[in-house]
Amino acid sequence: MTRKYFGTDGIRGKVGEPPITADFLLKLGWAAGRVFANEGHDFVLVGKDTRISGYMFESALEAGLTAAGVDTRLLGPMPTPGIAYLTRTLRAQAGIVISASHNPYYDNGVKFFSVHGTKLHDDIEQQIEYYIDSPMTTVESSKLGKAKRLEDAAGRYIEFCKASIPTRLDFGDMRIVIDCAHGATYHIAPHVFSEVGAEVVTIGAEPDGLNINDECGATHPEKLVATVLAYRADIGIALDGDGDRLIMVDHKGEIVDGDELIYIIAKSRLEAGQMTGPVVGTLMTNLGMEHALMKLGIKLLRANVGDRYVMEMLSEHKGILGGENSGHIICLDKTTTGDGIIAALQIMAEMQSSGKSLHELKSGMQKYPQTLVNVRTTKRINPDTDEVIQKSVQAIEKKLGDKGRVLLRASGTEPLIRVMVEGEHEDLVKKYALQLADDVKKSIGA
């Protein structure tokens, strides 16, 4: 389906520039309300992260939904996975998240969850787009929707997160540092980890509307590394602005990315007899993870980049675990979407059960060096069908053998060809990546 407004993860952009404007969000709320009203008169949840524009867009969505005759429950700042959970357990008709995830404060966006706590089906998004381009009307006054705040949203989600690990586990001897990225988990994550018994040091939990993801959180873990070392903590936990990404730091200050964390959870599930189906990664998943899983007898499947595609492939192949090296980790045996807090709890549970440090747990997987080079283009090309480029790719793949791989893909958002080479030896990987990038430039006349 060709979408006019929806991307792979909702609608996102710079605040004040179409479509991320107050008038568009008003129309979006009304359009979504029309679609949901056709299914019945149940309520819709609306939550947001901590960026300053969230107040404006919350009001605009509320007005649009009300005009369409749909009741609204306002959650205030809530992690994206928390909104998915509440949508499902409160049996709301849908959940709406106002967030631009790991982006800076001047961006924002909107994404939707179904009554099942999963992404909306394509046909529902298509219906919403139809109404966006239709004249806006208001229902008769007696049928207008009503809005109210849901006061206990945070507490409900905190209890859900804690219930994702066995109550018998005691974390009293564990010191952890949490970086909330000045985002939607600032009033939730510290409570979750302290209430399971850990000693918690919190950073990045003072949102002012402008500092979300600013040199902190999952996309900038440098401050977390320094704090872990300063406090001699056992682990560091970095979440992003809306709480669906997780990057960790071990006691030595080494960063542990999404691929390594997925490997640890997969091995834990396998040893507990709870692993079913393949693990689903993406085209960017490190080859070292694929080889490590292979040694465990677990198959890795690769989806296109984006948690939407990971989720689709998990569903198709009846898997329970997948995600991206950026830190989106989906544990379908615990929840319905990527959740940074729940993924971190699974790692902590394995540390306590095994008696091993995070540094020891990740040692079973050896990451292969990767080099990524972006080649700017003036025209859109498909590198997979370019004969000259493919000849160069095949020559490098032959040299790497089964100890490396090459990935070329055109960016979906920028005029770029992304060249990625991965292999055992960093110097050769870098050499081949630069060589291939030069061949791409020559072929496209860059």
Q: How far apart are CA 124 and CA 80, in angstroms?
A: 20
pLDDT digits (tens, 9 = 90+) for 111-155: 999 999 999 988 999 999 999 999 999 999 999 999 999 999 999
- Residue 101 is among the residues annotated as catalytic for this protein: yes
Query: pLDDT band for position 35 (50/70/90)?
Result: very high
pLDDT digits (tens, 9 = 90+) for 57-86: 999 999 999 999 999 999 999 999 999 999
User: How many other C-beta atoms are found inside a 10 Å radius of the C-beta of residue 427?
Assistant: 9
Domain boundary assignment for the chain = 11-150, 170-255, 257-341+348-367, 370-444
- In the predicted model, what is the mean pLDDT of residues 282-289? 94
Which residues have C-beta within 8 Å of that of residue 124, sequence separation ≥ 6? Answer: 35, 112, 114
pLDDT digits (tens, 9 = 90+) for 156-179: 999 999 999 999 999 999 999 999
The CATH architecture of the domain made up of 11-150 is: 3-Layer(aba) Sandwich (3.40)
CATH 3.40.120.10, domain 257-341+348-367, yes or no: yes
Q: How far apart are CA 110 and CA 384, in angstroms?
A: 33
Q: How far apart are CA 440 and CA 386, in angstroms?
A: 9
How confident is the prediction for the chain on average, in pLDDT? Answer: 94
- Runs of H (alpha helix) within 13-79: 22-37, 54-67
Q: How far apart are CA 33 and CA 92, in angstroms?
A: 13
Query: pLDDT band for position 305 (50/70/90)?
Result: confident
113 is written with which tokens?
A: 């969850």
User: How many other C-beta atoms are found inside a 10 Å radius of the C-beta of residue 300?
Assistant: 20
Could you say which DSSP state residue 191 is in? H
Closest CA to 252 of 224, 222, 229, 218: 229
The CATH architecture of the domain made up of 370-444 is: 2-Layer Sandwich (3.30)
Three-state DSSP state, 116: coil
Q: What percent of the chain shows pLDDT beyond 70?
A: 98
360 is written with which tokens?
A: 């020891």
Residue 8 has pLDDT above 60, yes or no: yes
- 170-255: CATH topology: Alpha-D-Glucose-1,6-Bisphosphate; Chain A, domain 3 (3.40.120)
- Domains 11-150 and 170-255 equal at CATH topology level: yes
Rounded to 5 degrees, what angle do the CA atoms 72, 6, 91 make?
30
Residue 247 amino acid letter: I
Closest CA to 175 of 205, 202, 198, 204: 198
Q: How far apart are CA 17 and CA 22, in angstroms?
A: 10
Residue appearing with tokens 């045996």: 333
**pLDDT for 2:** 67
Angle between helices 22-37 and 122-132 (to 10 degrees): 120
Selecting among 53, 99, 101, 164, the annotated active-site residue is 101
pTM, 2 dp: 0.93
